[in-house]
Amino acid sequence: MEEKQTKKKKYRIGLVIGSVDEEFSNQICKGAMRASELLGDDLFIIPMKYLNIKYYDPTQDIQWEYQYNYLAAYAQQADLDLVIMSFATVACLGTPHQNAYLINNFGDTPIFMVASEDENYSSVSYDNKSGFIEGIEYLIKERNRKHLCLLSGPKSNSDAIERYNVFMDVMKKHNMTADDSVVAYGYFNEDCEDEVEDLLIRNPQADAIVCANDLMARTVYKVLKKYNFVIGEDICVMGFDNMEDSDIQEPPLASVSAQASSLGYRAFIEAHRLLKEYGRENYPVVHYMEKTSFINRQSASGRYEPVKQLHDDDKKYFRHKIVNMESLDHKMNILARDMLMLESSSDQTYGSFLKALVPVEEIEDCYLFTFNKPIIYHANEDWSTLPDSIYLRAYKHGKNVIEVPSNKQIVKIKDIFSGRYLREEPKNYVLVDIFCREYQYGVMLCTVPYELFHYVENLGYQLSIGLKIKELFGSKEKLLEERDDMLYILEKENNYLGSLSFYDELTGIFNRRGLNNQMMKYLDDGDCIGKRMVLIMADLNFLKEINDKFGHDEGDYALKNAAEAVSSSVSENGVACRIGGDEFVGLSFLDDEEHLTEIKRRIKKYLRDFNKTSTKPYEVKLSVGCAEFILDRDVDISEIMTKADQKLYEDKRRKGAFVIRDI
């Protein structure tokens, strides 16, 4: 008689992390996902970003980013077996009170720390000191550097404090300057150019700069090259974390080996083991250490090293990733466009939002939860309290989208990660925040592959747009029913709408609303009906590369000139519009003999002439698609845009590689 097999226990483990689009957090997720797949557990990634995020990147418009903190409440109230906490990221800018409040609200849920230590919780962290000391000692002893400086993280951050203390101890040991005159403070990101320049001004004799992480070291490279310092000879540079691209910097960056993916992997493995051996109630406090070591490269040694070349497999992988990114971006833009074409809230079922995501095969499962009414959440308010319940409106399994009957939609928050609707087989999920300004609409729980983590926020934005439009359409229909109060309500709505501009602030051409308004004018003008028109869709190529390599000011410059190129191609009565990001639309009347190819040729010629005289190290290029139609009141603009979009996509496939010019 065969023995009955005991079903393996599947744990539900949360991972509270910063932004999954940033490399350190991203790598922790990568390691944890690999471990969860190996062990057969469910992993729920909760990207709550950062407490006090308004201080994180002053150059970015992050007024509403505090909304992501609200996701922590789901992990705190849900029935999870354990929560892995990347405290070093989410609390790096928090006050002691905020940090304690965050931890305490998890109640009796076991917490396992990753990348930081706390005597009250089990943890996996790095022995950061050994590799850091080794690198600083190398600069002093082997390279005979006499004037070392430190580019530190925030003064309140535990990792930054540790690295600061190690630096000062080594400096004192060698009777070198050990005070804040040789230190500058940043936020562990690349936005520290002013701090680096100030550090060099205060220390003109500096011959080595030790950085708290590799991201900050990139900015040190930028500043040193700006002033023609030879890195590794005039000034040595050392980073920390040994990120995946450290060895392809020019010159290769010396760093401390601290792979975040190995931390995420080890944290999940050990957390699972402790749960299995001791259970939730008797969960012990155990600390594990991952060794670090100094990785010497040209930026510290001064010895020439050829920059690492990508192997054919790497090139194939990155090409595949770029194609996937372009394809998903294309689908997301169509989703946003089509939702604006709907005429009433009845056209906008919750399932229709998920159906729009069906072509994105990589997202196999997703579950859309919303509140009965949006919740208002202002900055500096208590984000730890959620309603007891939320509504599961629709979900997607593979290509099947299911609308949930209204009598079965209510789900207790504590059951959101363990509901009957989740698949039996283990999965890696990401919790996506859905908000608009101060309004929280709900969340989406979905299986986003690691390679598409950069689209997690994009998914939230798209759903927020859809739910906001649904809300506005519902308001419009209610206005029509309440005829007695219509004039008063319409006056309020018009005041609100009147405050919105028809023009794109950056480029000065129409925005999406301005384009729609102009289209209505054409349809109302009897002289325009029956005329030939062309709809132009254009994408600015390589905007991300321009932003990454030369800064967002240069990206804005490229966008403005792309707008000029589209504007120059339309007729006197035509219009040009920026509909978002790097996307532009033009509407132009055609002469009797004028052909679509002439429109496209004008845009390309304008940019060729512009690039010939430009002194920029990059070229401004557009991918363009055009579709002709006869203007009449029954014209289906959505269909025309789809045709133009297809032509644009064909043109984009021929765009070639991004090239930096010698000027």
Three-state secondary structure string covering 524-548 = HCCCCCCCEEEEEEEEECCHHHHHH
Q: What is residue 121's predicted lDDT score, i.e. its pLDDT?
A: 93
What percent of the chain is modeled with pLDDT above 90? 50
Q: What is residue 3's predicted lDDT score, i.e. its pLDDT?
A: 46
Going from N- to C-terminal start, the domains of the chain cover 128-257, 324-483, 500-652
Write down the residue that tokens 């729920």 correspond to.
44
Q: What is residue 245's predicted lDDT score, i.e. its pLDDT?
A: 81
Span 9-36, mean pLDDT? 91
Are 184 and 151 in contact, with CB atoms under 8 Å apart? yes
Q: What is residue 128's predicted lDDT score, i.e. its pLDDT?
A: 79
**339 has a pLDDT exceeding 70:** no
CA angle 486, 490, 494 (to 5 degrees): 175
**141 has a pLDDT exceeding 70:** yes
Q: Check: CATH 1.10.3720.10 for 128-257?
A: no
498 compared with 396, residue with greater pLDDT? 396
- Comparing 54-63, 189-198, 252-261, 349-358, the range with the smallest average pLDDT is 54-63
Span 520-528, mean pLDDT? 89
Span 191-208, mean pLDDT? 95
Q: What is residue 497's predicted lDDT score, i.e. its pLDDT?
A: 54
Distance from C-alpha of 367 to C-alpha of 108, rounded to nearest angstrom: 27
Are 299 and 214 in contact, with CB atoms under 8 Å apart? no
Span 184-198, mean pLDDT? 92
Q: For residue 442, give the 3-state DSSP assignment.
A: strand
CA torsion through residues 153, 156, 157, 163, sign: positive
CA max distance for the chain: 88
Span 385-395, mean pLDDT? 92
**562 has a pLDDT exceeding 90:** yes
Would you give the DSSP letter of residue 404?
P
Distance from C-alpha of 96 to C-alpha of 51, rounded to nearest angstrom: 11
Domains 324-483 and 500-652 share a fold: no
Q: What value does the mean pLDDT of the chain take?
A: 85
Span 104-114, mean pLDDT? 92
Distance from C-alpha of 226 to C-alpha of 256, rounded to nearest angstrom: 25
What are the tens digits of pLDDT across the range 52-106? Answer: 776 555 455 677 888 999 999 999 999 899 999 998 888 877 778 888 889 999 9
Contacts of 158 (CB under 8 A, 6+ apart): 88, 116
**641 has a pLDDT exceeding 70:** yes
Are 396 and 353 in contact, with CB atoms under 8 Å apart? no
* Residue-wise DSSP of 272-304: HHHHHHHTTTT----EEEE--EEE--HHHH---
CATH class label, 500-652 = alpha beta
Span 450-472, mean pLDDT? 77
**476 has a pLDDT exceeding 60:** no
**112 has a pLDDT exceeding 70:** yes
**195 has a pLDDT exceeding 90:** yes
Distance from C-alpha of 77 to C-alpha of 445, rounded to nearest angstrom: 16
Confidence of residue 7 (pLDDT cuts 50, 70, 90): low
- Mean pLDDT highest for which of 87-91, 315-319, 492-496, 612-616? 612-616
Confidence of residue 499 (pLDDT cuts 50, 70, 90): very low
- Mean pLDDT highest for which of 49-53, 153-157, 235-239, 380-384? 235-239
- Comparing 370-379, 461-470, 561-570, the range with the smallest average pLDDT is 461-470
Are 557 and 616 in contact, with CB atoms under 8 Å apart? yes
Q: What is residue 158's predicted lDDT score, i.e. its pLDDT?
A: 79
* pTM attached to this predicted model: 0.61
83 compared with 312, residue with greater pLDDT? 83
Q: What is residue 2's predicted lDDT score, i.e. its pLDDT?
A: 46
Contacts of 410 (CB under 8 A, 6+ apart): 389, 390, 391, 392
- Comparing 408-417, 478-487, 535-544, 559-568, the range with the smallest average pLDDT is 478-487
- Could you say which of 2.60.120, 3.30.450, 2.60.40, 3.30.70 is the CATH number of the domain covering 324-483? 3.30.450
- Mean pLDDT highest for which of 3-17, 77-91, 141-155, 593-607? 141-155
Q: For residue 111, give the 3-state DSSP assignment.
A: strand
Distance from C-alpha of 546 to C-alpha of 544, rounded to nearest angstrom: 5
**344 has a pLDDT exceeding 60:** no
What are the tens digits of pLDDT across the range 28-41? Answer: 999 999 999 999 99
